[in-house]
């Protein structure tokens, strides 16, 4: 019993001594943010080297609340988790979806909203790709960015379709317009945004997604002080209307 009690005390002592990301940010005046920079309207790296988007604006707001500046840490969907851990990011954002696999390694702040997977197709073909049964055929040419939840959904739910992994999540939509692919499965928010940019494309059944999903900011696991701060900042951003104003700026709709 004595050894067990001592072990518990040692664990508690170690946890108490571990410094929170919150303390590190307040001390260093730097917020390290992992982001892909290829997912409009959330995170986009412009040709001048500056980031813009809904989540980029919110990251700058979070940094300002801490009296800190943002240090952007480039990553990709395929390497998001390993970069998040290896480069000691304080937060990862830019349209990140909540998944149980990611939850095994990291935590998430409170969800920002529901955003499930839907097909993005040429409007002339929209009647052909309404259901999983219609999509899950060898004749259907799917195109997805490598890594991330879009590719995972296709492997899980549409294994019979013909899949091409594309290197660039910014120019991938032109592949649909040019008839080099038939369907891109992506989050409803991205599909709705891109159909405004490409009138030839239609986001199908945005209110009835093929898979339920949520967007949230990813944060380091087991850091309760940092999670509580981020959650409270998000709560206040929502309650004061700040998040709605930023969302309307980048997405054209109120959140």
Give me the pLDDT at residue 204, please.
Answer: 97
Strand order in the sheet with 43-45: 38-39, 43-45, 51-52
Q: What is the pLDDT of residue 65?
A: 98
Question: pLDDT digit string (tens) for 195-218?
Answer: 999 999 999 999 999 999 999 999
Q: Is the dihedral of CA 91, 92, 93, 94 positive or negative?
A: positive
Distance CA(20)–CA(41), nearest Å, equals 31
Question: If you average pLDDT over every residue of the chain, what do you get?
Answer: 92
Start-end of H helices in 87-159: 100-103, 132-135, 148-157
**Bond preceding residue 41 cis, omega within 30 of 0:** yes
Residue recorded with tokens 């590190």: 24
CA distance 96 to 195: 20
**What tens digit of pLDDT does each residue of 56-104 get?**
999 999 999 999 999 999 999 999 999 999 999 999 999 999 999 999 9
């Amino acid at each position: 019993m004595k050894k067990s009690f001592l072990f518990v005390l040692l664990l508690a002592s170690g946890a108490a001594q571990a410094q929170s990301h919150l303390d590190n940010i307040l001390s260093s005046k730097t917020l390290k943010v992992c982001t892909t920079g290829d997912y409009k309207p959330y995170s986009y790296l412009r040709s001048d080297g500056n980031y813009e988007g809904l989540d980029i604006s919110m990251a700058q707001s979070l940094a300002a609340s801490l009296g800190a500046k943002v240090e952007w840490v480039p990553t990709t969907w395929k390497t998001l988790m390993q970069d998040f851990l290896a480069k000691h990011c304080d937060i990862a954002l830019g349209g990140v979806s909540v998944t149980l696999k990611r939850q095994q390694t990291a935590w998430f702040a409170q969800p920002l909203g529901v955003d499930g997977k839907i097909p993005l197709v040429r409007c002339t073909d929209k009647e052909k790709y309404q259901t999983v049964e219609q999509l899950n055929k060898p004749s259907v040419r799917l195109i997805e960015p490598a890594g991330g939840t879009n590719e995972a959904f296709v492997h899980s739910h549409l294994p019979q379709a013909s899949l091409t992994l594309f290197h660039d999540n910014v120019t991938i939509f032109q592949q649909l317009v040019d008839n080099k692919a038939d369907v891109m499965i992506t989050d409803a928010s991205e599909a709705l945004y891109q159909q405004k940019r490409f009138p030839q494309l239609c986001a199908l059944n945005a209110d009835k997604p093929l898979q339920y999903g949520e967007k949230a900011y990813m944060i380091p696991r087991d850091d309760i002080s940092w999670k509580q701060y981020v959650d409270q900042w998000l709560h206040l951003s929502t309650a004061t209307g700040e998040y709605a104003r930023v969302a309307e700026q980048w997405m054209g709709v109120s959140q």
